[in-house]
Amino acid sequence: MSLPTETKQYILANKPTDLPSLSGPSPTFSLETTPLPPLNDDQVLVQTHYISNDPAQRGWISKYADPKRLYVPPVPQGAVMRSRNVCEVLDSKTPRFSKGDIVLGNPGWTEYAVVDASTLQKAEKVPGLSETQFLGALGLTGITAYYGLTEIAKAGPEDAVVVSGAAGATGSMVVQIAKHILGCKRVIGMAGEEGKCRWVESLGADVCLNYKDEAFKERLKKETEDFVEVYFDNVGGEILDLMLTRMKRHGRVAACGAITQYNKSKQDGIKNWFQVISMRLEIRGFIVFDYMDKAQQAVGTLVKAFKEGKIRLGDENETIVDTKFEDVPGTWMKLFEGGNTGKLVTKLV
């Protein structure tokens, strides 16, 4: 089979202020076809098989994002949309990789790409697991959950932990790590559907509450009657505000994400800020890249826990969507619709 000489790719055409637009006069992304550059020494030609979908990507393309306040450079207008992918090596001019190798890299929303070998990692083979797990549970998602609990929240057996977005990629790993690796005394999840709540409970949560239920606030107060030591926040907004009233004195909040705010040009304010003062709360934001020097330690711990049967990884903690390349942005948008259980992954077909 002849090697490709051009590729389809999605370009950031217009930076959104609210919910990204996939059509109309000012679409967020544009589909383009561009020639592939020649392969130079220490480079490889890769084909994308799977694309990671992450809420953080929304922040990278925001019209109002101040580059001085972002933890990574924003995606420039006119550039390929950034993402982490699982790829196959089609051609290589480096001893590091051979044709047919499955690798992890960041070529973005593109079918094919010529990339520097130094930017790729070979996907580890773990019996019983798909390589897509290294986009989620055994990748940045799992590392985020692990260090958010151990380094930021300093969670341990004596702690009760609440996690929002518990059916999502990070939240579902927080539940398992807190309960089965750290041995936290009580784990309470939040999710937006009853079916998702039951799944979160099957992972180890003592209870999972449907935040769309009319009785949610009352149920949360009952389940946290004695208050909690740790809150792992993935959503921000009203639920974060509410959780400030459910924390014990000297409680710790790991501020991981704010998905309820990403598509709002005007952010929700915090009304219960005095709780931070009166209860001497510690709220600490963090980014997974802060811990990349220890990433393999976390991945090793998670792989060991999987092999010992302490945590569950498999089809149930991934939502893999078969997607034509023309529909890549639409699959990504499912993140903001609550359309996934566990990690949302695009599979190019």
Beta bridge partners of 345: 52, 320
pLDDT confidence of residue 338 = 83
CATH code reported for the domain at 140-289: 3.40.50.720
pLDDT confidence of residue 288 = 94
First-to-last alpha carbon distance for the chain, in angstroms, is 18
| Distance in angstroms (rounded) separating the CA atoms of residues 75 and 324 | 23
| Distance in angstroms (rounded) separating the CA atoms of residues 328 and 166 | 25
pLDDT for residue 15 is more than 90? yes
The model's confidence at residue 261, banded by pLDDT at 50, 70 and 90, is: confident
- CATH number 3.90.180.10 given to 6-135+315-348: yes
Name residues whose C-beta falls within 8 Å of residue 92's C-beta, 6 or more positions apart in sequence: 44, 45, 98, 99, 101, 117
Taking Cα atoms as reference points, which of 159, 173, 157, 171 lies closest to residue 233?
A: 171
Taking Cα atoms as reference points, which of 218, 220, 192, 217 lies closest to residue 207?
A: 220
CA distances from 305 to 104, 132, 138, 176 (A): 22, 18, 11, 10
| Distance in angstroms (rounded) separating the CA atoms of residues 170 and 177 | 11
DSSP 282-308: EEEE--GGGGGGGHHHHHHHHHHHHHT
Kindly report, residue by residue over 162-217, the tens digit of the pLDDT: 999 999 999 999 999 999 999 999 999 999 999 999 999 999 999 999 999 999 99
The helix (H) or strand (E) run that includes residue 328 is: helix 328-333
DSSP category for residue 342 = B
Kindly report, residue by residue over 66-120, the tens digit of the pLDDT: 889 888 999 999 999 999 999 999 999 999 999 999 999 999 999 999 999 999 9
Name residues whose C-beta falls within 8 Å of residue 171's C-beta, 6 or more positions apart in sequence: 145, 163, 164, 165, 189, 191, 200, 232, 234
Report the chain's mean pLDDT, rounded to a whole number. 96
pLDDT confidence of residue 249 = 98
In three-state secondary structure terms, 180 is helix
Cβ pair 193, 210 in contact under 8 A: yes
Average of per-residue pLDDT across 257-281: 90
In three-state secondary structure terms, 170 is helix
User: What are the structural domain ranges in the chain?
Assistant: 6-135+315-348, 140-289
Break the chain down into helix, strand, coil percent, rounded to 5: 30, 25, 45
pLDDT confidence of residue 279 = 98
Average of per-residue pLDDT across 240-249: 98
